[in-house]
A and B are shown apart, each in its own frame.
Chain A
Amino acid sequence: MGRYVIRRLLQMIPVFIGSTLLIFLMVYALGDPVAALFGDRAPDPATAAQIRADLYLDQPLWKQYLHYMAQIFQGNFGTAFNGMPVTELMAAAFPVTLRLTLVAIVIEMVVGIVLGVFSGLRRGHAVDTTVLIFTLVVVSIPTFVSGYVLQFLFGVKWNWVKPAVSTDAPLNELLLPGLVLALVSLAYVTRLTRTSLAENARADYVRTAVAKGLPRRRVVTRHLLRNSLIPVVTFIGTDIGALMGGAIVTERIFNIHGVGFQLYQGILRQNSPTVVGFVTILVLVFLVANLLVDLLYAVLDPRIRYA
């Protein structure tokens, strides 16, 4: 196990380098960010040249990348165009998005698994059909539509919650955005649970358990669920990274000043230090989450043993 973890940690290095390089290339391909800083005016060439030199933009791409990585390993993520160190932006943004992601994950796990279990155990029944229709509706509505609709209904029309999240982003205000963020993944979790449950319900070990005369509840919870949740756990694990980075739309609609907000601003302004810096952290989160998922795999599925 220890050797496996070390090997995986070593493998993270090339992935980390690959991802950051990829995003670096993409942001670089966007073009020169300096012109936008001057608004509707043509940039003053002398000032623009100075700014480019400051940002290392007058160097060839590979030099820019090496310089950037060298800085990162010294803990320096550079400075955003508005003069704020990127690390400070991160310190402000990541806790907010982390809270939002947690809310979303909890919702998608609890609701998704419960719905999935109910429909999986009652395939073809009314419950199953209802859940199926529910997941279909959810998956077919783009996040920005559900976001705007729910915000309008809950926030404005019925005035149940605040339509936008305040600066400190307390948990109670994140419930609605968390739900919106969770919706699409929720459908995935529900259906994965249902499929996997239905498959395992016919497995020999379940039949054996039933034949042994174990109570149904025990069969479901101890035997069936434990095995059926393996793909679900995989999915949720990989979803953490996606949720954190994918909150661009949700954070925009609900005015949450988290990672998605900073990334969106960063892209609009081609603020490469912000974009690359945040994505670098997201990639790390993703890699660690992946490793944890694989380790969890081993815990849940006795057939898998890492050496």
Chain B
Amino acid sequence: MRGAKRAKWGVCAVSVALAASACGGGVDTRGSGAAGIVSSSWGDPQNPLEPANTNEVQGGKVLEMIFRGLKRYNPRTGAAENVLADRIETTDSRHFTVTLKPGWTFSNGEKVTAKSFVDAWNYGALLDNRQKNAPFFQYIEGFDAVHPENGKPTAKTLSGLKVVSPVKFTVDLNQKFSSWPDTLGYSAFMPLPRTFYTHHDAWVKKPVGNGPYAVESYTKGSVMKLRKWGGYPGADKARNGGIDLQVYTDNNTAYTDLQAGNLDLVDDIPATQLKNVHADLGDRYINQPAGVIQTLTFPMYDKRWNKKNGDKLRRGISMAIDRASITREIFRNTRTPATDWTSPVLGAKGGFQDGVCGEACEFRAAQAKALVKEGGGLPGGHMTIAYNADTGSHKDWIDAICNSINNALDNDKACVGAPVGTFADFRNRITSEKMTGPFRAGWQMDYPLIQNFLQPMYYSKASSNDGKYSNPKFDKLVNEANAATDHKEAIKKFQDAERVLATDMPAIPLWYQNGNGGYSDRIGNVALNPFSVPVYNEITVH
């Protein structure tokens, strides 16, 4: 115990030296940061933090703190609300006029103008800049010229973007897209300051934006310190002094650090700890719906899975999965059994309907066995479910699904999990169409629109259509939905399209994923947004 005391004193000495934190006098030393600073778990972003190059949630966290775009999704409802946009007007769902609110600047003092947006979007779309989110600009007129499928770009800028005045620009789309303005809260559409182009390397080392926080320091692979930007003109000012994002490779370690009081906020609780969260954290545990759905996608390019009566086979497998038990025992109710292919966070107004999948998403062992038999049985007598074994503790639930299928089919060897070592390899096998059985697919929405749950994954040749599903009927309904100028009409068409999925069953809906997290008693007012990212600016420090 003597040693323990000394160790604690050592820690205190260090933190006193770093920042004037209260360590002596019997004050509780829980939490690691200096006054007003929140420390939060983070994963090392894969790509440089350029807005149009960030396509995963870890980089997205930072962009959400240091950028504000035309729109922002309400952290509670998910509705797209104007932030920098004063209004976005159109008469035909194809030609849009964007008017900006005055008074916005970047944290380096530069004014945010129409040009800040247009230049940023042109940069993101241009092939030479190798931005991974370039396809987000594909609906804008002239995209093919700046981003041809083969060869060199023939233009440097999108012909559909025109600056009219410092506060106004117009956007011409190459097709009707009624809900296009609602996509503009995605991070790829953020404005960029001049220094992004003139001092690009320096910018990447220490990004400058226009959000409630500014980057104070960034040690790649280890920690990013963000501090409240005093001059932030928006309404959603930071209510804490800053956020320290600490990189963890193992979410178990992050959780352990939270328990030990070295970390304030964890937004990814490992499945194996879910049993303990109530005892460990009490009401400091967050479990709330997020726009994430997990499915098992079938390789529809594989004849054995896409034969006559294949839909019966696929539906039979779906009915063999005891979603209720798995979400309860493995996930401790941090998932909700899915009954459709979208997400409840859309709300009824956004197009979510309970039960589109029908009885195919209910656990009915006897019927499952009969259907699989009618569908010609499992190809070769057994199936595998592929997943990446490197992150996310997928093994437990994949094994549970397989066990459920095996029990229903009364065959121990019917289904087995097939781990793939790395996510990279997993993706390669998917994109090169090497999957021989269903594989795990998790979809986190880019923006809270029903379109985003259907089109990217099930539209013929869409960017995330990993199973290569194709049904002209589905495509037609999606096209009609996008072209519809009336919101309700659009939603209805999307819902019709979703019913096509219920017939074809190209992917088995498993469950809707909640965002879950936990926090220390140092901080309060913690919530996750529908993207399961903490709403950092609202966190208060006691």
Given known A50-B128, A164-B253, A167-B219, contact A270–B55 (CB-CB < 8 A)? no
B residues 470-510 near A (Cβ < 8 Å) are none
> Which of A65-73, A77-85, A187-195, A278-286 forms part of the interface with chain B?
A77-85
Please state if B219 and A92 are interface contacts (CB–CB under 8 Å): yes
* Bound CA span A154–B405, Å: 41
Please state if A30 and B220 are interface contacts (CB–CB under 8 Å): no
Please state if A30 and B55 are interface contacts (CB–CB under 8 Å): no
Residues of chain B lying within 8 A (CB to CB) of residue A4: none
Please state if B11 and A32 are interface contacts (CB–CB under 8 Å): no
B257 within 8 A of A: yes
Please state if B131 and A47 are interface contacts (CB–CB under 8 Å): yes
Residues of chain A lying within 8 A (CB to CB) of residue B46: 36-37, 39, 81-82, 269
Interface centre among B45, B204, B223, B250 (most CB of A within 10 A): B250
Partner of A267, one of B11, B422, B431, B444: B422
Please state if A164 and B257 are interface contacts (CB–CB under 8 Å): yes
Please state if A47 and B132 are interface contacts (CB–CB under 8 Å): yes
A residues 5-45 near B (Cβ < 8 Å) are 30-33, 35-45
A residues 78-97 near B (Cβ < 8 Å) are 81-84, 88-89, 92-93
* Bound CA span A205–B442, Å: 70
B47 within 8 A of A: yes
Partner of B220, one of A37, A38, A89, A163: A89
B137 to nearest A CB, angstroms? Answer: 11
Please state if A148 and B252 are interface contacts (CB–CB under 8 Å): yes
Partner of A42, one of B3, B246, B464: B464
Please state if B127 and A46 are interface contacts (CB–CB under 8 Å): yes
Residues of chain B lying within 8 A (CB to CB) of residue A30: 422, 424-425
Please state if B256 and A156 are interface contacts (CB–CB under 8 Å): yes
* Bound CA span A161–B384, Å: 43
Residues of chain A lying within 8 A (CB to CB) of residue B257: 162-164, 255
* Bound CA span A195–B373, Å: 64
Residues of chain B lying within 8 A (CB to CB) of residue A167: 219, 222-223, 246
B194 to nearest A CB, angstroms? Answer: 20
Partner of A33, one of B45, B221, B424, B466: B424
Residues of chain B lying within 8 A (CB to CB) of residue A264: 249
A residues 39-66 near B (Cβ < 8 Å) are 39-47, 50-51, 54
Residues of chain A lying within 8 A (CB to CB) of residue B132: 37-39, 44, 47
> Which of B146-154, B298-306, B357-365 forms part of the interface with chain A?
B146-154
B235 within 8 A of A: no
Residues of chain A lying within 8 A (CB to CB) of residue B249: 251-252, 255, 261, 264-265
Please state if B464 and A40 are interface contacts (CB–CB under 8 Å): yes
Please state if B253 and A159 are interface contacts (CB–CB under 8 Å): no
Residues of chain B lying within 8 A (CB to CB) of residue A252: 249-250, 253
Please state if B4 and A255 are interface contacts (CB–CB under 8 Å): no
Given known A42-B464, A46-B148, A51-B130, contact A265–B44 (CB-CB < 8 A)? yes
B11 to nearest A CB, angstroms? Answer: 7
Please state if A40 and B262 are interface contacts (CB–CB under 8 Å): no
Given known A36-B423, A46-B127, A47-B131, contact A170–B14 (CB-CB < 8 A)? yes
* Bound CA span A51–B427, Å: 17
Please state if A253 and B431 are interface contacts (CB–CB under 8 Å): no
* Bound CA span A60–B132, Å: 25
* Bound CA span A27–B149, Å: 28
Residues of chain B lying within 8 A (CB to CB) of residue A47: 127, 130-132, 134, 147
* Bound CA span A46–B72, Å: 30
* Bound CA span A45–B47, Å: 18
Residues of chain B lying within 8 A (CB to CB) of residue A172: 7, 10
Given known A41-B55, A253-B250, A261-B221, contact A159–B260 (CB-CB < 8 A)? yes
Residues of chain B lying within 8 A (CB to CB) of residue A158: 4
B320 within 8 A of A: no
B372 to nearest A CB, angstroms? Answer: 28
A153 to nearest B CB, angstroms? Answer: 11
Residues of chain A lying within 8 A (CB to CB) of residue B524: none
B411 within 8 A of A: no
Please state if B221 and A257 are interface contacts (CB–CB under 8 Å): yes
A268 within 8 A of B: yes
* Bound CA span A31–B429, Å: 9
A residues 238-252 near B (Cβ < 8 Å) are 251-252
B441 within 8 A of A: yes
Given known A32-B428, A50-B128, contact A92–B256 (CB-CB < 8 A)? no
Please state if A160 and B3 are interface contacts (CB–CB under 8 Å): yes
B86 to nearest A CB, angstroms? Answer: 32
Residues of chain B lying within 8 A (CB to CB) of residue A160: 3-4, 7
* Bound CA span A40–B256, Å: 29
Given known A36-B427, A257-B221, A265-B44, contact A270–B253 (CB-CB < 8 A)? no
B residues 229-250 near A (Cβ < 8 Å) are 246-250
Please state if B55 and A50 are interface contacts (CB–CB under 8 Å): no
Residues of chain B lying within 8 A (CB to CB) of residue A152: 256
B48 within 8 A of A: yes
B56 within 8 A of A: yes
A262 within 8 A of B: yes
Given known A30-B425, A44-B132, contact A265–B221 (CB-CB < 8 A)? yes
Please state if B390 and A268 are interface contacts (CB–CB under 8 Å): yes
Residues of chain B lying within 8 A (CB to CB) of residue A39: 46, 55-56, 132, 427
Residues of chain B lying within 8 A (CB to CB) of residue A253: 250, 252-253
B48 to nearest A CB, angstroms? Answer: 4
* Bound CA span A83–B247, Å: 17
A residues 143-169 near B (Cβ < 8 Å) are 148, 151-152, 155-156, 158-164, 166-167
Residues of chain A lying within 8 A (CB to CB) of residue B422: 30, 36, 267-270
Residues of chain A lying within 8 A (CB to CB) of residue B14: 170
B118 to nearest A CB, angstroms? Answer: 21
* Bound CA span A160–B260, Å: 10
A229 to nearest B CB, angstroms? Answer: 30
* Bound CA span A167–B443, Å: 32
Please state if B463 and A44 are interface contacts (CB–CB under 8 Å): yes
B377 within 8 A of A: no
Please state if A44 and B134 are interface contacts (CB–CB under 8 Å): yes
Which residue of chain A lies nearest to B6 when distances are taken between CB atoms in the complex?
A172
Residues of chain A lying within 8 A (CB to CB) of residue B134: 44, 47
Please state if A155 and B55 are interface contacts (CB–CB under 8 Å): no
* A–B Cβ pairs within 8 angstroms, 28 of them: A30-B424, A33-B424, A35-B427, A36-B428, A37-B47, A38-B132, A39-B46, A39-B56, A46-B147, A46-B148, A46-B149, A47-B130, A50-B127, A82-B48, A83-B47, A83-B48, A155-B256, A156-B260, A166-B32, A166-B262, A170-B14, A172-B7, A255-B249, A257-B222, A265-B44, A268-B390, A269-B424, A270-B422
Which 10 A-B pairs have CB atoms at the shortest separation, nearest pair first? A36-B424, A83-B48, A160-B4, A270-B424, A163-B256, A35-B427, A164-B257, A255-B253, A41-B463, A257-B222
Starting from the known contacts A40-B464, A156-B256, A164-B253, 13 additional A-B residue pairs (CB-CB under 8 Å) come to A30-B425, A38-B132, A44-B147, A47-B131, A47-B147, A82-B48, A161-B7, A162-B262, A164-B257, A170-B14, A253-B252, A255-B248, A255-B250
